[in-house]
C-alpha cells in the first residue's frame, strides 16, 4: 500500500514550494503519494510543470474556498529522458 506524505508550504513563495516538494519526494518510493498544501498562486502552474519534468503524476488538485491549494502527487519511477539539442558555436574569423 502506498505511503502518503503531507507537506504544508503555506506562506512559502516560488521557488520554495517546489524545492521543498523535491526534498520530500526524495524520501518516498515510486507509487507513494505527496499531499501538498500551499497558498502561492504560482503553484497552479509550477506543480503540474514540475510533475511533467520529474516524471511524477498529478492525480488531482483543489482550490479551497479560503484560496489554499491542495495537490495530490504520485511519485514516478524516474524523470523522463530529455531531448538534447545541439548548440551551434560561431567561429571567429
Q: What are the CA-CA distances from residue 65 to residues 41, 70, 92 (Å)?
A: 14, 11, 60
Structural domain count, the chain: 1
Q: Give the residue carrying C-alpha cell 571567429.
A: 92
Per-residue pLDDT tens digits of the chain, which is 93 residues long = 889 999 999 999 999 999 999 999 999 999 999 999 999 999 999 999 999 999 999 999 999 999 999 999 999 997 666 666 655 566 665
Position 26 scores a pLDDT of 96
Domain that holds residue 16: 4-74
Position 1 scores a pLDDT of 82
93 within a domain of the structure (yes/no) = no
Query: 10 Å Cβ neighbour count for 80?
Result: 11
CATH of residue 16 = 3.30.110.40
Position 2 scores a pLDDT of 86
Catalytic residue among 2, 3, 6, 14: 14
Compute CA 49 distance to the chain's CA centroid, rounded to the nearest angstrom: 7
Active site residue 51: no
Position 23 scores a pLDDT of 97
Amino acid at each position: 500500500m502506498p505511503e502518503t506524505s503531507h507537506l504544508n508550504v503555506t506562506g512559502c513563495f516560488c521557488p520554495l514550494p517546489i524545492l521543498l516538494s523535491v526534498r520530500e519526494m526524495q524520501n518516498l518510493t515510486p507509487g507513494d503519494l505527496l499531499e501538498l498544501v500551499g497558498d502561492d498562486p504560482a503553484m497552479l502552474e509550477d506543480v503540474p510543470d514540475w510533475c511533467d519534468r520529474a516524471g511524477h503524476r498529478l492525480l488531482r488538485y483543489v482550490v479551497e474556498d479560503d484560496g489554499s491549494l491542495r495537490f495530490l502527487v504520485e511519485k514516478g519511477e524516474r524523470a523522463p529522458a530529455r531531448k538534447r539539442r545541439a548548440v551551434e558555436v560561431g567561429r571567429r574569423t
